[in-house]
Chains A and B, each alone.
Chain A
Amino acid sequence: QSVLTQPPSASGTPGQRVTIFCSGSSSNIGINTVNWYQQLPGTAPKLLIYSNNHRPSGVPDRFSGSKSGTSASLAISGLQSEDEADYYCATWDDSLNGYVFGNGTKVTVL
């Protein structure tokens, strides 16, 4: 049972916009910045969004992040087949004194 809650799955057709939500609490998302990771099948996770809404170099601007209160979201606009992957939110938890991941959301392109 993760302290960060994500829906297990999300889907969309090519070109659509998909949004994944991540719910936390006052000890994690409420006071720390959120990162998002993308894990393509059979590969290592890749940092997709850091500090709530910043994209590392090379990440397409189709990916965007936001945070409000104790929740965060990742939006994928103009969905493409290569976006099929597992997506994880993550942040530091001050109560646990450790880094925590969401349970992950599998995105399927229909």
Chain B
Amino acid sequence: QVKLVESGGGVVQPGRSLRLSCAASGFTFSSSGMHWVRQAPGKGLEWVSFISYDGSNKYYADSVKGRFSISRDNSKNTLYLQMNSLRPGDTAVYSCAKGNTSPGYWGQGTLVTVSS
């Protein structure tokens, strides 16, 4: 069955960087678009970024454009999110989700806390 496992979260100081990973299994990763979505504590869902199946197309929310970068390694069935210049407002659970146009199946997420 589809399995998405995020890792790389933790506590980081404002202005620092962090890279999240999402290990995928149970489906043909190289044929599927992938998303990152986040949810701040007690808040709603916020879409962060999308990458097409081959990495040729990437889209970002305005709130992270220029600071975050999405990428993938189809040989490793792994999705990444490089987060630079982190801000306290980036504190959230970050989840990867499978979907060619919209997020379908979601992982459980990894918590990122930006605090001094």
Contact = CB atoms under 8 A, between A and B. Distances in A.
Interface of A: 2, 35, 37, 39, 44-47, 50, 56, 86, 88, 90-92, 96-104
Interface residues on B, range: 20 to 34
A35 B62 CA distance: 21
Q: Taking chain A's interface residues, is the majority helix, strand, or loop, or is none over half, making it mixed?
A: strand
A100 B37 CA distance: 10
A102 B43 CA distance: 12
B106 A92 contact: no
A98 B104 contact: no
17 contacts: A37-B45, A44-B108, A44-B109, A45-B95, A45-B106, A50-B102, A56-B104, A86-B44, A88-B44, A90-B102, A98-B47, A98-B50, A98-B61, A98-B62, A99-B35, A103-B44, A104-B45
Contacts of B54: none
- From B45, B108, B109, residue with most partner A Cβ within 10 Å: B45
